[in-house]
Amino acid sequence: MTQRDYYEVLGVERGSDDAALKTAYRKMALKYHPDRNAGDKGAEEKFKEAAEAYAVLSDPQKRATYDRFGHQGLQGAAGPGGPGFDPSTFADFSDIIGDFFGFTDLFGGRGRRGGPARGEDIRYDLTVSLEDAVRGTAIEAQIPRLDTCTRCTGTGAEPNDGITTCPVCRGRGEVIYQQSFLSIRRTCGQCNGRGQIIRRPCIQCRGEGHTRSERKLKITVPAGVDTGTRLKLQGEGHPGKTGGRPGDLYVVLRVSDHPVFQRHEDHLHCIIPVNMAQAALGAEMSLLTFDGPQKIKVPEGTQPGTEIRLPRLGVPNLNGGGRGDIVAHVQVRIPTRLTREQRRYLENLRDVLPDEEEPGDKGLLDKFKELFT
């Protein structure tokens, strides 16, 4: 029997690259696969013909031999599927058409479905104060989650004779089909790969294998966290299936606003108001920080917007890189109403002070806002 040209079989040009060959073969395999053409001998022959052509043309050495000598050059490499055919070529066959047919194993390519599966992860949003973010804290929270059913221990079936062996796959979880040179394993559609079917669903979980509950957990919030920080609690997610390990719990933090301090990276910024006399003559003030009261010395002649730093009293670095500062921004308050005595003193002061103008200075609040824009 005269064999057709392999390029003609796949419908590609002789100079086609590997990607074009694979695409063409996939199209042919899907079209003529025996599962889609039950009892059609012609389709089965075309499927084998396409497989043989791809086996040769996807192998650089065999393709070179075929391009030079044709089918005659491959006679010495004849295999069970025809000249030049080698079943090992199809080790990646499931990558080509497996997803379309639900193959779970082809020439040892994939494992059985329906076995132990890891549980899903849980996300829990938690709001903490800025003080807790600076100092660190431990918070007890009620986490909604699924728990393994205590009655059926996760099987979904009644404890006494609620499960039976699947009659289709006989407990293997897969069905093996023999298609000429191909041995194809597919997940059993009756038991979905479990090898067993539930005859009597558990009356407590109604066959789900789990129940809904709330679990009280102690969440340790380390010092230095910020909005968006994720804390991982391993194994505190939803339970796994058929003996699989549980998922993880991810706590996503949000740090609430503070009436005094604003955070910028690891530094804490605040405004300290002083009157004109304090700014001119200097003053000593007390600032309540997260480490207790701290004295701040306002130097004589302090100008609006002056920054006074308190080193290492800010936010600890989450990665252990030290601690930020507290940055106090001086705001000079101008009185809006004056008594007669205050006015008299200020008028006398005005008469003895030199006239000085410094146009272009930005206001304190404008400078302060720039830090957070």
**Does 107 fall in a domain?**
no
CA separation for the pair 104, 193 (Å, rounded):
9
Which of 222, 281, 276, 274 is closest to 253 using CA atoms? 222
Structure token digits, residue 289? 């920080």
Pairing of strands 307-310, 326-333: antiparallel
Number of domains composing the chain: 3
Q: Are residue 56 and residue 170 in the same domain, yes or no?
A: no
Is residue 28's pLDDT more than 90? no
Residue 209 CB-density burial (10 A; 0-12 exposed, 13-18 middle, 19+ buried): buried
Residue 104 CB-density burial (10 A; 0-12 exposed, 13-18 middle, 19+ buried): buried
The pLDDT tens digits of the residues spanning 67-105 come to: 888 888 777 554 444 444 444 444 344 445 544 444 434
Structure token digits, residue 265? 């990276």
Q: Are residue 356 and residue 323 in the same domain, yes or no?
A: yes
Mean pLDDT for all residues in the chain:
82
**Does 113 fall in a domain?**
no
Q: Are residue 171 and residue 147 in the same domain, yes or no?
A: yes
Enumerate the H helices of 102-233 as residue ranges.
130-135
pLDDT at 367: 62
Contacts of 318 (CB under 8 A, 6+ apart): 222, 223, 224, 225, 226, 229
How many Å from the N-terminal Cα to the C-terminal Cα in the chain?
Answer: 80
Model pTM score: 0.58
Structure token digits, residue 220? 């340790």
The pLDDT tens digits of the residues spanning 241-267 come to: 777 889 999 999 999 999 999 999 999
**Does 72 fall in a domain?**
yes
Query: CATH number, domain at 32?
Result: 1.10.287.110
Query: CATH number, domain at 325?
Result: 2.60.260.20
Q: Which domain holds residue 34?
A: 6-101
